[in-house]
Structure 1
Amino acid sequence: MMIPRLLNKPHRWLLAGLCAASAPFAFAQLSPTAENATPAWTPTGWSGGGFYYSAAFHPKRDGVLFLGMDVAGVAKSTDHGKTFKMVNKGLIDYAMYSLAVDFKNPDIVYAGTEGGLHKSTDGGESWKFIPGTEKKGLHITSERGISVRSVASDPTDSNIVYAASPGGKVYKSTDGAMTWRVVYQKGVAVDTFAGLRVQFGKANGAYFGGIWSPLEFPKDATAATGIGFTLKGDGSTPEKTFINLKTSTGLSYRSRSVSEVFSDVQPRDVVFSADDFVLDPDFAKKSPDLAATAPKTPDWTTVNRIDFSRVSAPDAASVLKIARIFFAAKGADGKEAKLTVRDFNADKAVQSYGNVRLGESASAGGAVSSVVVSAQKPTRVLAATSESGLLISEDKGETWKPLATPAKAMHAAFDPANPDVIYGAFAKEGIHKSTDGGATWQKISTKLSPKFSAREIAVNPTNSKEVYAIGSDGWNGDFFYSVDAGDSWTLSRTMKTDVAVDPTTPGDGASAGLSAPTNLTINPLNPKEIFISANWRPAYSADGGRTWEERVKGADITVHTDIRFSGNRTYASAMDEGTLMSEDQGKTWKQLWPLKYDGEFSGHNWRLAVNNINGVDRIIATVSPWTGKNSTIVVISEDGGKTYKQTTAGLPTYEIKANTMWGRGYPRALAVDPSNPKIVYLGIDGDATEGKQGGGVFKSVDGGYTWKQLENQPGSRRMYYGLAIDPTNPKRIIWGGFGTNGGVYISEDGGDSWNYAFKQDQYLFNVHAAADGTLYAAGNNLWRSTDHGKTWKQITQIKGRSVVGLEIDPRNPKVMWISAVTWDGSSKGDVFKTTDGGVTWTDFTGDIQHRKPQILRFNPKTNELWSGQTMMHKIKQ
């Protein structure tokens, strides 16, 4: 059974909007050094286990193959997929959903991501983003669940390029993708009201969603009477809608439900007065002392952040267009005015979270999934749309007409010898064929399973009788081949696995079925060679699809959550894939658990603790299963991973929802008492609710087999990686909270009581206790305390990013490494190093292929720094 890739990552993480602003990055203490120039990182993870979403053989260079991944960018192979190397230089984001190689100029490759379109002119070795193609611009993006082949070039003219937009348009460029014009758009009403379009709902499965933005009260304004919006709704009536205001004085206010703003479909100004707001009840509950003396309504001059959120069913969409945010106040001339503080016509940058989609609707007039150009007749172009079926152009995309096909089209293919013969993949409607240039169609998949959903189709370029198709029934994938031009089909979906390269789930056996295939590509120089990108395991065939083998070496897509060392062994945990171990410094890996798919156990492994006791590694891991009756499992091995036991004793069995980072409480924090390995602390994010215990800090005194939720909890249970034990005093426990009442909480008595020790930065992602007892808190910046938390000093100057990864050389506490990342799918991120205790910092990012590591671990035995999150790397120090 194939394992589902249930969590959609990384801006699919539900990470966006946690706290990181979109402001430019600044690091005041960077020092230019020779080391700053070229840190060289070595990939050291395993391959497989993720969603490989796009693939393309090179048309003129035998064996060259490109593979795109949902969270890891692009990999390139020059040996028919036997080995890959990552080629992410220049990408602005890593969500790679479409690839195309120019036929006429073999050095040109196009890569479509959620962030926009990229072009390579050196065979995919490096990339340049094409400005204006982003979602808030032309929306020439490639997106999950929509895009199949979203870019195509004219095989006779490299300057002519076509792009299929999820926004319902077909674009054409005549200058090699530098500029674009719309050549097709389904007739829809034109909205002359500009502004930021916010769709609440139908973006994912969350019941809530919102946007937020920093604000600054106008310096020359006085006597404000309210805050307002210039907006228009869609006539809907969502269940609940709230405006939340935060102030520079640390207060939080919430409006009454303002769902009426959606009801009017005409543009208008709406102003909310102070009487529309009260102190946020959650804030008042968590900060009773501060709330007791706070003004009951907001002081407009102190408002520095606004949140606009909606609560409703996930599949119910409500749309607002917001042109601006303003304060109703007196201006410098003393006259009443509406003073704009956010103009969304000039700048649409906001942070979003939960069930929200920004920008043009992905289904406005029907998304376009693919665009295809006939090799024999390049004037003929096809576009596959989600609502209008296949469209055809006979004049290089200048004019279009719909064909009599099923409404939802995913992809189409021309017979390479006869452009009048066309095959189409129509999702649940199967495979159809036309022999008269699209005038009439016949369904040719009637004998296939009615559950088969056709995604892509291809024709052998040297033998028109051979036709191939991929599709899925849920997570189960199918490949069909036909030797008679579609009159009959043969299923071929089993592949030989490569456990040495992809060590995940070895207990499933030497073969596995295809899972959720996404792209099908044929090597034009040897058409017997076929490659399929798919969930978990990409597949390669050398015999026209009769037999398959997994080929994925070097295409690391794993999202690692922890790395630990013991002697010559390295342990790593990962989302989806489990816990693995290497005994040769990462050259090869062995799965410890789960050994095969287990519906009650397979899922996300979060944190590891490894203690060598009498020469044997004792391992503890925390797990959140995909499914099953338990939301949190602790795994314990007493023999270095040879055997293991699972326990849930004392842990929450339900999914915690209240006040969590990702919509569900996860056991992301784990710490073992360095003086007594029987004492273990576990952190799960999320508040208690009526009749439910919630998350927080749990303690075990028997090595992790049984757990007890601490009677007293830190003031914030919303947490990421924020748990540590002071090695100089194991009774001292450090907890890092996030959001309201976030900051550092310290217990001096093993968790019996807590002191709110640090609140200058309330958005913490990590805490660390160094070997000498120095404490560190990582959030919007990095903070240090040398007196056990009594006082703190900021030792970085970072703007617009969050410090998440944090490591300190145990031999020299002045040597530290941090990672500064953003919470979206972009490639914005860096690694920094200091050798003087944070006085100066060096950019240490170098050539790392994924710039957003959240895990940094130093191995003093080998003098290597390891990084993890998406992909794993190491570098000699």
Structure 2
Amino acid sequence: MRHFLFMTFCAAALFAGDTAVVPVAWKNIGPGGGGWVQSILASRHEERTVFVGGDVGGVYKSLDGGGTYATYNDGLEDYYVECMAEHPKNPSIVYAGCQYGVYKSDNGGKSWNILRNGFPKKQGYSYSAPISTLTIDEINPETIYAGIGRPRPRKDGAGSVYRSTDGGANWSRVNDETSIPKDAYVTALQIDSRDSQHLYLCCQYGFFQSTDGGVSWKKTVDGLPHQSVRRMAVCRSKPDVIYISMFAKPGETPWSGGIFRSDDGGMTWRKASGGLIDSVGKGSWKLTAQYDCIAVHPENPDIAYTGGIAWVSDGVYKTVDGGKTWNRSLMRTNANPAYGWIDFWGPTIECMSMSLKNPDILYAGTPGNIYTTKDGGATWHEAYSRLLPDGRMATRGYEILCVRKTYVHPQDPKKIFVSCMDVNLLLSADAGATFRRVHPGKGMGTIFELVFDPDDARHIWGAFGEQDNTDAGAIAESRDEGLTWTKIGTPETGIPASRTANLVLARNNDGTRRLVTTVEKKGVYASDDDGRSWRICEGIPSVQGSLVLAAAPGKPAHLRCVLRKENTMYRSDDAGRTWRETGNLKTLGEMRALAVSPADPETMFAATREARRGDVSFMGGIHVSRDGGATWEELIKNRFADVIVIDAMNPNIVYAGYTDHPYHDGNIGSGVHMSMDGGKSWKPLNSPSLYNRNISCITVDPHDRKRLYVGTGGNTLFVGRVE
């Protein structure tokens, strides 16, 4: 998502009409897994209970060791869960550290309350105090410490430690302003179990200790090669034994990363990296061996685990001799069973947790997978999805994908096509009970649009590209309902090498059909031979930025195209052959979606995000034009309206979807809303079962127009009926 900086902050949404929630029973569906596991916590109270925190999906809880999960986002105001901590005596009390602040649950994670009293004021376009780590005093569990910063991108530090002495109800910055550098991002924080006043802290400036409850801090780095410390693990039975991980500077020799150990409470350190991969590469830090998270056995300080987070050192490593030698326990070739369906990324370990009830049980999280071992790392099992013998995937309840588009096959209601970020195309032949993953080919990692051939049920066209590379893309076709794909729109056939993000099948006035696509930074292209050859269309300039393309369902030769950066609209009345500038979008925010009424091509609904052009800010929301775009009426104010859909059979029924960008405090969208009177009034469809309100797409089932498929930016797909 993009990050916009503006001078003013507006309310998230202002809705007209009756705002009573329409009771839709939403069901979460998907393949399981596929998104970033940001944090993981094995319960200290129950051997088979584990909590998982996603970077976009919120909180998940399993009561059977990762066999099944429930998602618990009630009360969360952001879905990025950096860390979690359990009350040492009361299993019902759980804390979550997110980018907006600290949340507390009194019912085992089922619902959450934000605890921000004492933290900086909420910010609309930045993070005021992102929580990086939490630690609870085991002697007095009402005392909690929170570190500030964002360890994953290694930024947004404030050199701050906050403390609460009343279970999180109130907070205050506890450290003085001189003992920790002002830009330090705290990566780990721990209380000495023997002394509540004694704390340990890790950051990019070293290992620090406090003996006065976090007020003043002293750096203790004797024996360390540099100061960039990442994580720590303290042995419960012998708390003077501490392990830390060090960040290795890319391209610098000798290698200076790995694991270090202290046997005197962090006063002195020695290298404990025997057997770890120590390769050094130039360029990305992921080409130099890196180790991050650590777990140490609570009774035996010589047994420890660490996770490799670089491409060249991925996997879980185990030592049984205090770091003298490490052996790879989990790697690409020995995960059992196989690798799950996420077999295209290596196991870069982002988080790890060991069960205190049974230290042979560990959980490891990666950018797409969850793995668990129940025998001290001898064998590992995927714990995020069920991979069936024929290659299909079935969910365990852990849904954490970001969906771009969803389609229902026009002739088979059980066949669903889901385009997702990072994992390509997912196909279901049983209405979402199971899925298959399809990877069309190099440079085609993301599907931006699918078009079904009305004359051949097995024939589908797709507009492909890469999420983070606008210079890659192609048009491809499938002759077997999406299972395999062949590129047909390439530089050799007339389409420049760039992202193709829109695709429509238009009809000429003589009844012949034409494929029309937008090529980012290059313009609009058309094909009159089902995609075998392409030519640029006249009348639309080749400009920087992306485009929005919309067809009029009731008039197939009528198309609209919006250049987002310039906020200008173009119109074609000859199925995309020629275009002319039309309408007036100067009072609208950035166009995110455009829907043309099937009853009247001059009536259009627009979903816009707030934008700033020059010195003027424009509010986002839902707008309607009934004169071809010459004038617009504001229906709803909303900073991030992203989706607008008109029911093809009843143009009075309109659906709107809202999201938010993830770069500021409290970034939950406004969910899904419905109008039954052409936009005059709106009702939310946000039942509690729709537990992700960042909406990326809405699809009306053509076989049952009361059934909606709603894609989200973090919990995959939801399906429900609007009665």
TM range (shorter): 0.7 to 0.9
Unaligned segments of structure 2, at least 5 residues:
150-157, 249-256, 280-288, 385-395, 609-619
For the residues of structure 1 that align with 2:518 and 2:562, how far apart are their CA atoms? 10
Question: 1:561: which partner in 2?
Answer: 404
Instruction: Say whether 1:587 aligns with 2:433.
Output: yes
Instruction: Say whether 1:540 aligns with 2:372.
Output: yes
For the residues of structure 1 that align with 2:13 and 2:421, how far apart are their CA atoms? 31
For the residues of structure 2 that align with 1:187 and 1:466, how far apart are their CA atoms? 37
Task: Write out aligned runs for 1:12-23 (5 A).
Answer: 13=1, 15-17=2-4, 22-23=9-10
Question: 1:493: which partner in 2?
Answer: 330
Q: Deviations over 1:42-95 (max 9, x none)?
A: 111222222111111121123221111122222221211112222112112122
Question: 1:572: which partner in 2?
Answer: 418
Contact (CA 8 Å) 2:463, 2:502: kept in 1 or not?
no
Contact (CA 8 Å) 1:625, 1:631: kept in 2 or not?
no
Q: Deviations over 1:358-389 (max 9, x none)?
A: xxxxx7342211101234554432111211x2
1:865 CA displacement: 0.6
1:717 CA displacement: 6.7
Matched pairs, number: 649
Q: 2:184 aligns with which of 346, 366, 371?
A: 366
Instruction: Say whether 1:460 aligns with 2:292.
Output: no
Q: Deviations over 1:844-877 (max 9, x none)?
A: 1222122121211100314311111312111112
Instruction: Say whether 1:95 aligns with 2:80.
Output: yes
Output the TM-score relative to the length of structure 1.
Answer: 0.69
The 1:766–1:79 alpha-carbon spacing in structure 2 relative to 1, beyond 3 Å, is same
For the residues of structure 2 that align with 1:576 and 1:546, how far apart are their CA atoms? 30
Task: Write out aligned runs for 1:468-483 (5 A).
Answer: 468-474=305-311, 477-483=314-320
Contact (CA 8 Å) 1:736, 1:766: kept in 2 or not?
no
Task: Write out aligned runs for 1:605-644 (5 A).
Answer: 605-624=447-466, 631-644=472-485
Question: 2:165: which partner in 1?
Answer: 174
Q: 2:107 aligns with which of 122, 126, 133?
A: 122
1:37 CA displacement: 5.3
Question: 2:718: which partner in 1?
Answer: 873
Q: 1:781 aligns with which of 621, 629, 637?
A: 621
Contact (CA 8 Å) 2:290, 2:313: kept in 1 or not?
no
Contact (CA 8 Å) 2:658, 2:670: kept in 1 or not?
yes
1:817 CA displacement: 0.9
The AA in structure 1 aligned to 2:417 is Y
Contact (CA 8 Å) 2:17, 2:682: kept in 1 or not?
yes
The 1:54–1:762 alpha-carbon spacing in structure 2 relative to 1, beyond 3 Å, is closer
Question: 1:763: which partner in 2?
Answer: 590
The AA in structure 2 aligned to 1:180 is W
Instruction: After superposing the two structures, state which structure 1 stretch, 560-569 or 390-399, moved more.
Output: 390-399
Q: 1:520 aligns with which of 341, 352, 356?
A: 352
Instruction: Say whether 1:708 aligns with 2:535.
Output: yes
Q: Deviations over 1:815-854 (max 9, x none)?
A: 2211133334511323111122222211112221221212
Q: 1:393 aligns with which of 200, 210, 215?
A: 210
Task: Write out aligned runs for 1:203-282 (5 A).
Answer: none
Contact (CA 8 Å) 2:524, 2:540: kept in 1 or not?
yes
Instruction: Say whether 1:669 aligns with 2:502.
Output: yes
For the residues of structure 2 that align with 1:366 and 1:398, how far apart are their CA atoms? 16
Question: 2:514: which partner in 1?
Answer: 679
For the residues of structure 1 that align with 2:90 and 2:45, how far apart are their CA atoms? 9
For the residues of structure 1 that align with 2:78 and 2:338, how far apart are their CA atoms? 30
The AA in structure 2 aligned to 1:187 is T
Question: 1:860: which partner in 2?
Answer: 702
For the residues of structure 2 that align with 1:415 and 1:188, how far apart are their CA atoms? 26
Contact (CA 8 Å) 2:13, 2:670: kept in 1 or not?
no
The 1:385–1:26 alpha-carbon spacing in structure 2 relative to 1, beyond 3 Å, is closer
Which secondary structure does the structure 1 equivalent of 2:672 belong to?
strand
The 1:434–1:536 alpha-carbon spacing in structure 2 relative to 1, beyond 3 Å, is same
1:716 CA displacement: 7.4
Contact (CA 8 Å) 1:625, 1:632: kept in 2 or not?
no
1:583 CA displacement: 1.0
1:715 CA displacement: 9.6
Contact (CA 8 Å) 1:604, 1:626: kept in 2 or not?
no
Instruction: Say whether 1:529 aligns with 2:370.
Output: no
1:790 CA displacement: 6.5
For the residues of structure 1 that align with 2:416 and 2:512, how far apart are their CA atoms? 19
Contact (CA 8 Å) 1:372, 1:382: kept in 2 or not?
yes
The 1:419–1:501 alpha-carbon spacing in structure 2 relative to 1, beyond 3 Å, is closer
Task: Write out aligned runs for 1:796-807 (5 A).
Answer: 796-798=635-637, 800-807=638-645
The AA in structure 1 aligned to 2:28 is P
For the residues of structure 2 that align with 1:74 and 1:480, how far apart are their CA atoms? 27
Instruction: Say whether 1:439 aligns with 2:267.
Output: yes
Unaligned segments of structure 1, at least 5 residues:
1-12, 190-362, 656-665, 686-693
For the residues of structure 1 that align with 2:146 and 2:516, how far apart are their CA atoms? 52
For the residues of structure 1 that align with 2:192 and 2:32, how far apart are their CA atoms? 35
Q: Deviations over 1:200-254 (max 9, x none)?
A: xxxxxxxxxxxxxxxxxxxxxxxxxxxxxxxxxxxxxxxxxxxxxxxxxxxxxxx
Which secondary structure does the structure 2 equivalent of 1:771 belong to?
coil
Contact (CA 8 Å) 2:540, 2:570: kept in 1 or not?
no
For the residues of structure 2 that align with 1:482 and 1:513, how far apart are their CA atoms? 21
The 1:642–1:837 alpha-carbon spacing in structure 2 relative to 1, beyond 3 Å, is same
The AA in structure 1 aligned to 2:675 is T
The 1:715–1:765 alpha-carbon spacing in structure 2 relative to 1, beyond 3 Å, is farther
Task: Write out aligned runs for 1:257-336 (5 A).
Answer: none
The AA in structure 1 aligned to 2:720 is I
Q: 2:147 aligns with which of 151, 157, 164?
A: 164
The AA in structure 2 aligned to 1:444 is A
For the residues of structure 1 that align with 2:338 and 2:694, how far apart are their CA atoms? 27
Question: 1:423: which partner in 2?
Answer: 243
For the residues of structure 2 that align with 1:381 and 1:188, how far apart are their CA atoms? 14
Which secondary structure does the structure 1 equivalent of 2:378 belong to?
coil
The AA in structure 2 aligned to 1:443 is K
For the residues of structure 1 that align with 2:674 and 2:73, how far apart are their CA atoms? 23
The AA in structure 1 aligned to 2:326 is W
Contact (CA 8 Å) 1:494, 1:548: kept in 2 or not?
no
Question: 1:813: which partner in 2?
Answer: 651
The 1:124–1:836 alpha-carbon spacing in structure 2 relative to 1, beyond 3 Å, is same
Q: Deviations over 1:271-322 (max 9, x none)?
A: xxxxxxxxxxxxxxxxxxxxxxxxxxxxxxxxxxxxxxxxxxxxxxxxxxxx
Percent identity of paired positions between Structure 1 and Structure 2: 24
Contact (CA 8 Å) 1:832, 1:844: kept in 2 or not?
yes
For the residues of structure 2 that align with 1:134 and 1:867, how far apart are their CA atoms? 35
Which secondary structure does the structure 1 equivalent of 2:673 belong to?
strand
For the residues of structure 2 that align with 1:645 and 1:84, how far apart are their CA atoms? 37
1:809 CA displacement: 2.2
The AA in structure 1 aligned to 2:540 is Q
The AA in structure 2 aligned to 1:425 is S
Instruction: After superposing the two structures, state which structure 1 stretch, 73-82 or 646-655, moved more.
Output: 646-655
The 1:76–1:753 alpha-carbon spacing in structure 2 relative to 1, beyond 3 Å, is same
Q: Deviations over 1:489-543 (max 9, x none)?
A: 11122367799996456xx6xxx7412x111101122221111111121211111
Question: 2:18: which partner in 1?
Answer: 31
The AA in structure 1 aligned to 2:361 is E
For the residues of structure 2 that align with 1:782 and 1:395, how far apart are their CA atoms? 54
1:177 CA displacement: 2.2
Output the TM-score relative to the length of structure 2.
Answer: 0.83
For the residues of structure 1 that align with 2:5 and 2:477, how far apart are their CA atoms? 32
Instruction: After superposing the two structures, state which structure 1 stretch, 722-731 or 469-478, moved more.
Output: 469-478
For the residues of structure 1 that align with 2:35 and 2:219, how far apart are their CA atoms? 37
